[in-house]
């Protein structure tokens, strides 16, 4: 597990971006910006959102693909599964409260 993953998850704006991509996969930068403004009142420049996406991509949490002039972003849950397996995997006994 890399520090980039935890750095990416530490920022609340990046977590909102992941929430949005988890709810609706394959969004463009414009769509993400619009949803962040309308649903979360988070008015950020496209460049700022793009920089957050770059951090998420670097951590492996977001994948993107180009189709013509458009770039579509999709959440990749695999790195999150690694966290769950590391600390909550099937080999771990459940603690009793």
Predicted TM-score of the model (pTM): 0.86
pLDDT value for 97: 53
pLDDT value for 86: 83
Tens-place pLDDT, residues 40-58: 999 999 999 999 999 999 9
pLDDT value for 94: 64
Name the stretches of the chain with pLDDT < 70: 1, 91-97
Tell me the sheet residues that pair with 71.
66
Domains for the chain: give ranges and CATH numbers.
3-88 (1.10.10.10)
Q: What are the start-end ranges of the H helices in 1-45?
A: 3-10, 12-23, 29-40
Tens-place pLDDT, residues 26-35: 999 999 999 9
């Amino acid at each position: 597990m890399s520090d980039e993953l935890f750095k990416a998850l530490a920022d609340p704006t990046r977590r909102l971006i992941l929430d949005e991509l988890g709810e609706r996969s394959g969004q463009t930068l414009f769509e993400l910006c619009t949803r962040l403004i309308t649903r979360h009142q988070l008015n950020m420049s496209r460049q700022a959102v793009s920089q957050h996406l770059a951090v998420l991509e670097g951590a492996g949490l977001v994948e993107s693909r180009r189709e013509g002039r458009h770039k579509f972003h999709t959440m990749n849950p695999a790195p999150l599964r690694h966290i769950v397996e590391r600390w909550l995997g099937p080999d771990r006994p459940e603690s009793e409260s």
